[in-house]
Amino acid sequence: MTSLALPGNTAATKPKRPGRVIPGFGISLGFTLFYLALIVLIPLSAVFLKTSTMSWADFWATVTSERVMASYRLSFGASLIAAAINVVFGGIVAWVLVRYQFPGKRFIDALVDLPFALPTAVAGITLTALYAHNGWIGQYLATLGIKVAFTPLGVVVALTFIGLPFVVRTVQPVLEEAEKELEEAAASLGAAPLQTFIRVVLPTITPALITGFALAFARATGEYGSVIFIAGNLPMVSEITPLLIISKLEQYDYAGATAIAVVMLVFSFILLLAINLLQAWTRKRAGKA
């Protein structure tokens, strides 16, 4: 009797006072908005207002000049490749960490976040030293005729390192939540392991894989510190877009630097929106499962 009455009781009283008793709404939200405006919104608006001092023709000429176009191709191309590498190998790492037991697993799991915690400049000089023609890894690749450091391939290596944790960390929780009974059911009904993976596992983790891809891609396009050391920074060949912003700033071409920045910002906002939608989708899929 009482157990039946209780849920109805709380349901009736709860919506009446949603946080009415709790103090501090005005001050906490006020401070949040003030600090957000001061640190993020006002400085960011400076970028857009600065571009508005340029004529449309100037703006267009700056952001579509040959050297800038080459940098977009490198930045976005290398970021796409690096994010794709991370989807494949990050997916495998997530799978192995969730499903299998092996010595040193806890340690490896903790170390996956290293690219988040390691300063980008440290990653940059280290990868350059490793992949240079006389480096630990570079010397073996050199005998095969592959040059990594100071080529676009080096940019891909640096961006793969930077994006490594994203796919692993988005797929891991989804795999942990996934109901293994479904796979077991598929297997006991006679599905081959590969069939089970493609029909049962892959649909479950696809939203997470895409979200991880988008996060790694977004991070990679704006990355600067780890790339500039290994890229070699040759105009038209291995010059990333953020580096062009810096070189324009060093020539006191503030308007030119800002124009390129606006292109990158618009791109990141679109990507951010896409990521938000993807994450909502992931949650919905996970909730349904």
Partner 1 sequence: MSAVLDNVAPARRPTNNKRLDTSVLEPGWVRITLIAVALVFLTLFLFIPLAAVFTEALKKGWEVYVESVMDADALSAIKLTLIAAAISVPLNLVFGVAAAWAIAKFEFRGKSILLTLIDLPFSISPVIAGLMYVLLFGASGWFGPWLAEHDIKILFAVPGIVLATVFITFPFVARELIPLMQQQGTEEEEAALVLGASGWSTFWRVTMPNIKWGLLYGVILCNARAMGEFGAVSVVSGHIRGETNTMPLHVEILYNEYNFTAAFAVASLLALLALVTLAVKSFIEWRLHEARKASTDAPH
One residue of 70, 83, 87, 127 binding partner 1 per CB under 8 A:
127
The answer to whether residue 225 forms part of the interface with partner 1 (CB under 8 A) is yes
Question: Crossing angle for the helix pair 66-99 and 152-177, nearest 10 degrees?
Answer: 40
Which H or E element spans position 2?
Answer: helix 2-13
Q: What are phi and psi for residue 175, nearest 5 degrees? A: -65, -35
2-21 residues in contact with partner 1 (CB under 8 A) are 18-19, 21
Touching partner 1, residues 106-125 (CB under 8 A): 106, 108, 110-123, 125
Write out the two tokens for 169: 């960390």
Q: Can you tell me the distance from the alpha carbon of 172 to that of 283, in angstroms, rounded to the nearest whole number?
A: 14
Would you say 151 or 196 has its CB closer to partner 1?
Answer: 196
Closest approach of partner 1 to the CB of residue 213, in Å: 15
Interface segment toward partner 1; rule CB under 8 A; list 60-68, 86-94, 146-154, 203-211: 86-94
Q: What is the dihedral of CA 68, 218, 92, 179, to 10 degrees?
A: -150
Report the candidate in 256, 227, 232, 226 with the shortest Cα–Cα distance to residue 244. Answer: 256
Among 151, 211, 221, 238, binds partner 1 (CB under 8 A): 221
Out of 6, 46, 202, 236, point to the residue binding partner 1 (CB under 8 A): 46
Say whether residue 179 binds partner 1 (CB under 8 A): no
Taking CB under 8 A as the criterion, the residue among 54, 61, 80, 130 binding partner 1 is 130
CB of 34 to partner 1, least distance (A): 10
Instruction: Render 11-29 in DSSP notation, one character per residue.
Output: HHHGGGSSSSS---HHHHH
By CB under 8 A, the count of residues binding partner 1 is 91
